Chain A
């Protein structure tokens, strides 16, 4: 036991970015990831991708609508969200983010609406629940390719900006070596995408294509690739850190290397990713399982970066120990976000029954 320097009196800084933030980064990541997944099927009409892409789009929508609410809650002054727009501050990535999010969401919603209009119309014609509502939203239900592409482009630009700012906003925090590495945004993006694939697999589990081995296999491959990418980035991070080639990485590593808790999480995260990779490659059939694993890795990564990162004192010795409070600042918050997510999902899948959504037939027909 090292007793060279023993701190006898000091204070703690509580985490200031709460689990709310983790939820936000998790959901917004899933959203833009899923959005990207939706492009091949919905925009490029690649055969065999329709169902998946529509499921992905559903995911992008559900997560995209939930995420900002979590973000709002992470503000200790949620009622003042409008200050972001009243006092634009170009030096702050967060300030920019406040403008990127709407761009993305508006694009996404428009894009989704255009993509789903035919389906909505179809449901409107049925006697299913909320058929009336569906009919209303469908608003005629005819599809216009051009508008769709246009909306997709707006959403794409928004998605990239969101991906960029969510990564860089954290990366620029030099005060936290663990965050302050150029690889961080990449890691966020890759894991977000992998998570999105996982989410789509999850949705698919409840759709008509739940036994479509080809489809699941395809997804699994995509997942495997993304996991591989995640691993490579991780390895690169480690190499840079250990070798000391890149000081920022060395610092980042140094910050956490000594913490047993961290070593465990690191091994865990790596393990989970490897497992997902292997399963999705060798057992493409195990769709749901790998899906969940991927989601779990995406969450874990963000949890350890944000909460774990804030457990590292910037000046004091040792670590601040965080224990998840049960109230809104902690567990209740996470559950609440999930609740909202579920609610929106149920709502959407009622006007847009999964059966239709995930049927391999192209939209409208």
Chain B
């Protein structure tokens, strides 16, 4: 007995020993059998250098095993120019850094004439060049390469199996994909689905009662993210060849309110121009709702210039933000300052500042008094405003809120000119007390005018200047009241105004994402207008325009990529209702019925295409419904507050929306609902001509080209399946204009094919290369060193002999760039070269002349403070009071993540997002850092982990965006026989958009958007927080 126990004991002991030391034994064996190659004894597995530069002679030696190419990053919307390092043997991207030619990655950037060889040497230790000419990618940009070979990539066309969003797909052939989406049929055994051919009805009106809606083709809608350099091909297909009106970008849920507010000042609600601080020369910048160096576009350039400015003690800046971000840096405390503000209340701060400026004579009235560019420039001013123009303020007058025009006074119109058209002059008060047409003004015009004029019809109306109306708006509330509304002390408001107006033209105020609140439009309009009051537009160191690109998709000089026979001009009411309600048939009907207002739902005269409103429109059928939705590179379900909660069910229902097609390399929260997913190329695999979104004062164009072999499956012709090959195939199948063997023409009008991506992009490149002063030719050395050898055959095949080396030059340099020195004019070095030459609309008649479709109330035409409200003007707090919802929740961009970088190594460093809570608010709820809590809004609740610190305003909770994913790896999809890997940690954290609000004043028909801009509201959500 005993003996046996001993044996068992011994055996057990031995077994445990064997198990416990298994690893040790293994490692010992390795050690002797000489374990797996572990690289150099000192450098380990470090990558072999891409090339060598002799530190003494500067001589360059290449590494034959690696390719270094300049192309574009898409790690965020900044679209930086980068240099990609490729292991030629494996074809894998091994590292990415910056392109020294690109101002988005380098300051100052190399001149175009520098050879590729010189550009490599400029990155090296030789003469410390690499430090001065440092060219960078950000943390995300470094990590982004992981997406190329991500196990979550879509590589073949997918067709859903089972119901929508069930995570089950069948890989299908490209041919089957094209056939099914074009011809339709009973595609899912759920009944007949119209294909794109049937849906392309250019004649039959959607609704005979509302012919204004346009033809049925408008029932095909398209949402794209950002223009990554391919957008114009998308538009050529969907709008000009296929014919739909409804093609929108992500603007309305990006920074839509800022853009609309800016568009109001710049007087353009389509292009919505906006300016940025000239960070390289500014003395003082006020960032209100944009976090330089934490996020922002251009992310790196802004961050670098900010860092340089504060380190050199040249730049002082203030960041007005409910949250403390990386925009602050305690190592340079005297240069920067964080001023906490209550979300959605920026208008109060800014109008308070304006009040102070008016009261202390700090408004640059001399500047504002210039009625035209002609007068302004004579006064040495590079820009002007309409502050002195006369505005009709007669209550009840049909033109109330609009600027007085010559025709109103009965002045004869120049023949051919139409009433209220461009040639119907605006007026200022003349020296003689009589109205004077602006074109005839030779001097400054009076700013303080309050007069009654007799119009042509004999009716006399009261007119005032925009200046007066703005001042009245600013003075309408006391500083104390403004202070109470925004939570910023009176002396700080005054201090900001004082500082802002103490740097001449080298000061500036700018905003962006922080404007995405329930008072977004007017907050943004106010911030933009602040700049007009010091006259900093177009000044070096002031408020400056983007340099813009070089025309590539243009009508010349080498190829006409714009016009083609049979080109369609889409017509009809846009699905997003971004036109004045007063232009609709509904308005006519209701007015005749005697009750013009309210409209059945909101209309947004002050906005461009509204992706935010697509969903409310199509699912409520107002104005009409979509039959098919195309999602290209877009993820509205993840990015729009409240969308999934409000419309998830509808999206999942094929009866409500019969066809959803996505073109995307990944499965995200939106295309998880798709019926078909078309694989697309990822950044380093794709073509494109991308301009800087803004913030680069010189002209630049980034050349994106396949520096590696695209991973997607190929078409029968051997083309990688992508957005391009997809639309080419659709065009062929439906025989659409502007594509095919004669799709294009050169400058001489000779027809050329548009059947492969190169046909488009290389010719666009030729236009860019020949724009203005044509660029030089790429040398064989340039081509060899930059890996452009890869596409040399296409270059020579598609382009003309005199063209291809010039286009090659752009690819070898990763684009075309204007010299940094040309940002300012040579003869007037204080003026920017690229200036905005139209008036700044201190009073926007476009807005001031419009009404809220739900109430018939007039909008204010100038900057003003209005508390966050729902569409019909009901203050948010009147519906969701502080008693029940004591907190305000807001969103900010992760400094590291973007909305689709979750499955990259950056997540290893920062695995999850916390809810940032102020210590007082935490204490009140017995919460401490690390505790789990429920964050609730009227839109729902989410579980989160709280992080408690002083870096957030009391009463505000802040959510870092980029986490809380349901897709992009968070859920393992089944594709045919293949199951994607399980990576539950990719679902870490939470997304504030899961608890976005719906608008009670729109019968819950839609999510909460700003009444004027239609932009998503993600900041200032009423909220509660409690322990979980």
Direct A/B contact, Cβ within 8 angstroms: yes
- A residues in contact (CB < 8 Å) with B: 1, 3, 6, 8-9, 11, 69, 72-73, 76-80, 129, 327-329, 332-343, 345-347, 349-350
Task: Assess the B28–A11 pair: CB atoms within 8 A.
Answer: no
Q: A6-B947, A8-B949 are in contact. List 10 more A-B contacts (CB 8 A).
A: A79-B29, A328-B19, A328-B20, A334-B20, A336-B21, A339-B14, A340-B21, A341-B13, A342-B13, A347-B10
Is B41 engaged at the interface, CB distance under 8 Å to the other chain? no
- B residues in contact (CB < 8 Å) with A: 3, 6, 9-10, 12-24, 27-32, 909-910, 919, 922-923, 928-929, 947-951
Task: Assess the B24–A11 pair: CB atoms within 8 A.
Answer: no
CA distance A337 to B928 in the complex (A): 41
CA distance A340 to B24 in the complex (A): 14
Min CB–CB distance A87 → chain B (angstroms): 14
Chain B hits for A8, CB < 8 A: 947, 949
Task: Assess the B20–A76 pair: CB atoms within 8 A.
Answer: no
Min CB–CB distance A238 → chain B (angstroms): 29
Task: Assess the B14–A9 pair: CB atoms within 8 A.
Answer: no
Find A328's partner among B6, B9, B24 (CB 8 Å cutoff): B24
CA distance A76 to B27 in the complex (A): 8
Chain B hits for A329, CB < 8 A: 23
Min CB–CB distance A282 → chain B (angstroms): 34
Chain A hits for B14, CB < 8 A: 339-340, 343
Chain A hits for B10, CB < 8 A: 342-343, 346-347
Residue of A nearest to B35 (CB): A79
Chain A hits for B949, CB < 8 A: 3, 6, 8
Task: Assess the B17–A343 pair: CB atoms within 8 A.
Answer: yes
Task: Assess the B19–A336 pair: CB atoms within 8 A.
Answer: yes
Tell me which of A9, A76, A80, A328 has the highest count of chain B C-beta atoms within 10 A of its own C-beta: A328
Task: Assess the B31–A6 pair: CB atoms within 8 A.
Answer: no
Task: Assess the B15–A339 pair: CB atoms within 8 A.
Answer: yes
CA distance A342 to B6 in the complex (A): 10
Chain B hits for A343, CB < 8 A: 10, 13-14, 17
12 contacts between A and B (CB under 8 A): A1-B919, A6-B947, A77-B31, A78-B24, A328-B24, A335-B16, A338-B13, A339-B20, A340-B14, A342-B16, A343-B13, A346-B9
Residue of A nearest to B927 (CB): A1
Chain A hits for B9, CB < 8 A: 342, 346
Residue of A nearest to B919 (CB): A3
Min CB–CB distance A57 → chain B (angstroms): 20
Min CB–CB distance A102 → chain B (angstroms): 19
Tell me which of A3, A329, A349 has the highest count of chain B C-beta atoms within 10 A of its own C-beta: A3
Main secondary structure of the interface of B (DSSP, over half): helix
Task: Assess the B30–A328 pair: CB atoms within 8 A.
Answer: no
CA distance A79 to B34 in the complex (A): 10
Task: Assess the A336–B20 pair: CB atoms within 8 A.
Answer: yes
CA distance A336 to B21 in the complex (A): 7
Task: Assess the A337–B20 pair: CB atoms within 8 A.
Answer: yes
Task: Assess the B13–A1 pair: CB atoms within 8 A.
Answer: no
Q: A1-B948, A346-B9, A347-B10 are in contact. Are A79 and B31 (CB under 8 A)?
A: yes
Chain B hits for A77, CB < 8 A: 27, 31
CA distance A72 to B18 in the complex (A): 14
Task: Assess the B13–A78 pair: CB atoms within 8 A.
Answer: no
Closest 4 CB pairs of A and B: A336-B20, A79-B31, A339-B16, A342-B13
Main secondary structure of the interface of A (DSSP, over half): helix
Task: Assess the B17–A78 pair: CB atoms within 8 A.
Answer: no
CA distance A342 to B9 in the complex (A): 7
Task: Assess the B27–A129 pair: CB atoms within 8 A.
Answer: no
CA distance A347 to B27 in the complex (A): 27
Residue of B nearest to A347 (CB): B10
CA distance A43 to B455 in the complex (A): 127
Min CB–CB distance A293 → chain B (angstroms): 24
Residue of A nearest to B948 (CB): A3
CA distance A21 to B256 in the complex (A): 60
CA distance A347 to B13 in the complex (A): 11
CA distance A346 to B20 in the complex (A): 19
Task: Assess the B13–A79 pair: CB atoms within 8 A.
Answer: no
Min CB–CB distance A176 → chain B (angstroms): 25
CA distance A76 to B31 in the complex (A): 10
Task: Assess the B23–A1 pair: CB atoms within 8 A.
Answer: no
Find A340's partner among B17, B28, B919 (CB 8 Å cutoff): B17
Task: Assess the A340–B947 pair: CB atoms within 8 A.
Answer: no
Task: Assess the A3–B950 pair: CB atoms within 8 A.
Answer: yes
CA distance A80 to B922 in the complex (A): 53
Q: A11-B909, A346-B6, A350-B6 are in contact. Are A332 and B20 (CB under 8 A)?
A: yes
Chain B hits for A334, CB < 8 A: 20
Min CB–CB distance B7 → chain A (angstroms): 8
Tell me which of B15, B21, B32 has the highest count of chain A C-beta atoms within 10 A of its own C-beta: B21
Min CB–CB distance B61 → chain A (angstroms): 35
Q: A9-B909, A76-B27, A77-B31 are in contact. Are A328 and B21 (CB under 8 A)?
A: yes
Task: Assess the B20–A79 pair: CB atoms within 8 A.
Answer: no
Chain B hits for A341, CB < 8 A: 13
CA distance A329 to B951 in the complex (A): 40
Min CB–CB distance B988 → chain A (angstroms): 15
Chain B hits for A79, CB < 8 A: 27-32
Find A73's partner among B13, B21, B923 (CB 8 Å cutoff): B21
Find A78's partner among B12, B18, B31, B910 (CB 8 Å cutoff): B31
Residue of B nearest to A340 (CB): B17
Min CB–CB distance A139 → chain B (angstroms): 24
Tell me which of B20, B21, B22 has the highest count of chain A C-beta atoms within 10 A of its own C-beta: B20
Residue of B nearest to A332 (CB): B20
Task: Assess the A78–B20 pair: CB atoms within 8 A.
Answer: no
Task: Assess the A328–B22 pair: CB atoms within 8 A.
Answer: yes
Q: A1-B948, A72-B24 are in contact. Are A336 and B17 (CB under 8 A)?
A: yes
Min CB–CB distance B923 → chain A (angstroms): 7
CA distance A178 to B9 in the complex (A): 39
Residue of A nearest to B922 (CB): A1
CA distance A101 to B909 in the complex (A): 42
Chain B hits for A349, CB < 8 A: 6
Min CB–CB distance A259 → chain B (angstroms): 15
Residue of A nearest to B33 (CB): A79
Min CB–CB distance A161 → chain B (angstroms): 26
Chain B hits for A336, CB < 8 A: 16-21
Find A6's partner among B3, B910, B929 (CB 8 Å cutoff): B929
Chain A hits for B928, CB < 8 A: 1
Residue of B nearest to A77 (CB): B31
Find B24's partner among A73, A80, A129, A346 (CB 8 Å cutoff): A73
Task: Assess the B13–A340 pair: CB atoms within 8 A.
Answer: yes
Residue of B nearest to A336 (CB): B20
Min CB–CB distance A79 → chain B (angstroms): 2
CA distance A339 to B9 in the complex (A): 9
CA distance A6 to B22 in the complex (A): 42
Min CB–CB distance B321 → chain A (angstroms): 16
Min CB–CB distance B288 → chain A (angstroms): 23
Chain B hits for A129, CB < 8 A: 3
Chain A hits for B27, CB < 8 A: 76-79
Chain A hits for B21, CB < 8 A: 69, 73, 328, 333, 336, 340
Min CB–CB distance B957 → chain A (angstroms): 15
CA distance A9 to B914 in the complex (A): 11
Min CB–CB distance B30 → chain A (angstroms): 7
Residue of B nearest to A1 (CB): B928
Chain B hits for A350, CB < 8 A: 6
Residue of B nearest to A80 (CB): B31
Min CB–CB distance A6 → chain B (angstroms): 4
Chain A hits for B950, CB < 8 A: 3
Task: Assess the A1–B929 pair: CB atoms within 8 A.
Answer: yes
CA distance A341 to B923 in the complex (A): 52
Min CB–CB distance B956 → chain A (angstroms): 15
Min CB–CB distance A5 → chain B (angstroms): 9
Task: Assess the A332–B19 pair: CB atoms within 8 A.
Answer: yes
Chain A hits for B929, CB < 8 A: 1, 6
Chain B hits for A76, CB < 8 A: 27
Q: A78-B31, A129-B3, A343-B13 are in contact. Are A335 and B948 (CB under 8 A)?
A: no
Chain A hits for B948, CB < 8 A: 1, 3, 6
